[in-house]
Amino acid sequence: MNFDPIPPPTIQALGRVVESANEVKGYAETLVEGLRACFDAQSPKARWGVDFVVAADKVSATIDTVFGRARSGLFIEVDDDGVYGRYVIEKKFQGAAGGESWKQVWAIRIAKDGNIHDGDTGASIFNAWQTFEHERNGALHHLAGSILCSIGRAGNFP
């Protein structure tokens, strides 16, 4: 396997990695709290039946659905534009021999400016620190539904 050189502009895009990563984590905490509140609200709870339990780190969660169990967590990454976060959803699968495995089924991109994107490649649908509450709630409902759909679409076999 060959590894190409990293061009200087890509290295410069790292900026203040620790500071950027902490900002992204803060935005992820806002996202996760909003998803928890959405899944726990009366109507989505009755219709979707999702248990979204946030871990002590405030960004990871276990997700129990009618389609099976999933988990979510934040991964800090970098590209030519700098540091960003991927809030990754993984579904649990049981193998024929009883072993379990996890498969990524969806991700939400979290930009270092607080923009939360619809999936990995979709447009920004709200900003974690400056969007009005009614706009944020609609976007969170959309993301919660997308998480549930991605878990259901993944099937039950790896």
* Residue-range domain boundaries for the chain: 8-153
Residue 155 phi, psi (nearest 5):
75, -165
pLDDT attached to residue 68: 95
**pLDDT tens per residue, range 58-68:** 999 999 999 99
Give percent of the chain above pLDDT 70: 99
Query: What token pair was written down for 54?
Result: 């946030």
**pLDDT tens per residue, range 46-97:** 999 999 999 999 999 999 999 999 999 999 999 888 899 999 999 999 877 7
**Residue 68, strand partner residues:** 65
Helices (H), the chain: 8-12, 17-40, 42-48, 133-153
